[in-house]
Structure 1
Amino acid sequence: MKEPLNISIPKPCTQSWADMSATTGGKYCSSCQQEVKDFTSMNGFEIQQWFQLHQTGKTCGRFHENQMPALLTDLDKINPSTFLSLKVFLFSLLTFPLSLKSAQHQVKSKVPLTISPIYNSMAPEFTEIKDNSDSTKILKGVIVDGKEPLVGAMVMIKETKLKTHTDKDGKFELDLSSLETDSKAVIRVAYLGYEFKEEKLNLKNLKPLRIIMTDFQCLMGEVVIKKSSSNLFKRIIRGL
């Protein structure tokens, strides 16, 4: 296993993420003339894997502020009980195939199973399902990030099971015909890396919505990576 990397941004960038043009892996910064990789949707393990494969060349990245401390665990501060739990877990994984093989040998014989057909004299009844949705209660809208539409944003009505996701153009439609006209409906929009947005709805007079999302406080700039001197996995294996 490769040593984990210590990832940091010593000199954060002050450019506006919303003003950059979208690319496949993030956005293009016209100031530094290169792509800014968006890591906000990745966990620590995925970020480590990415940089293990891309250690050459200059990388500009965008992270949540709370992602940076979690990218590399301080091994000296880990509670000893944590190591014990991990050791037990790894030992169980190693011995499980042997236990499974032993259990298979203990099966002596198969018990024949007789299945008798069950006859039902009652014929099934089918009911035609009609579309009773009220077109006046179809909520439509678009979710954007500054200038760009957000694809796959979750749109839901609070305290209900009504939800949908935006399409490739950031648009959505949500059928609210199951709600009472005088109910206090609140729409909630969620997208990874952005703050939640909520807005009260007037079910008597639904109008198309245009919701602009605001991203969380993020850290952006050139990434500096250093190899860590410790490896958690090696310390666990060494103690088995």
Structure 2
Amino acid sequence: MKYTITIPEPCHENWENMTATAKGRLCDSCKKEVVDFSNTSFSMLSQKLDSGAELCGRFRPDQLNRTLRSRKGNAIKHSGILVASVALLSGISPVIAQDRTPTPTAIVMGRIAVQDDVGTKPIATDDSTISGKVSDSQGPLPGVKIVLQGSGIETQTDFDGNFSLTIPQDSLKLNAVLEVLHIGYRSKTIAINKATSDLKVVLTMEDYIMGEIAIVDKPNLFDKIGRLFKSKE
């Protein structure tokens, strides 16, 4: 059996103000012993929780919301949620990070719930992924920008000219248009919908005027007067 531990109601008692005991501290508020699990391995933590006893504990944040495997198989029977009192230390003051100053490990205290793990279900999404390849007459084009018009959604082609763009379903219900842009090439627009896939886009280069450069001097006033006298000779 696998189960997870969460903290629905954090406790705000100060750990440092509690009376020390063999396993942790005694909480004056609830009159229960708070076991320090902050340095306990996940294997040992699973063993403690397998006992089914009502516990109070002190945990690191990374020990919570994790899937644990019971070491007793299906011996533990949960009726809905087995609730245990767990302390989450909140008495540590925030520390401003400075150069070469280690960040203190936060400790969490509060009521925890041990819950059967029924498996992780993927989050449903209506987003669509449009993919394709961009090339010119010579082959694949890397670094080509692919933009969904009227939005901030864009991507670029990889070294082999391939791209993949995730687009919200709402955008595809409208007149969705992709714009393909690359320096030195004519831009291209493509209408898309949720059925669009494996696009093949071929770009053509912009028209350029090429040839030998000619520099023509514009004569000034003295040049014009000089030419006038030469023409009279």
TM-score between both structures, scaled by the size of structure 1: 0.36
Relative to total residues, which structure has the larger helix share, 1 or 2? 1
Relative to total residues, which structure has the larger strand share, 1 or 2? 2
Larger Rg computed on CA atoms: 2
State the structure with bigger RCO (CA 8 A, min sep 6), 1 or 2.
1
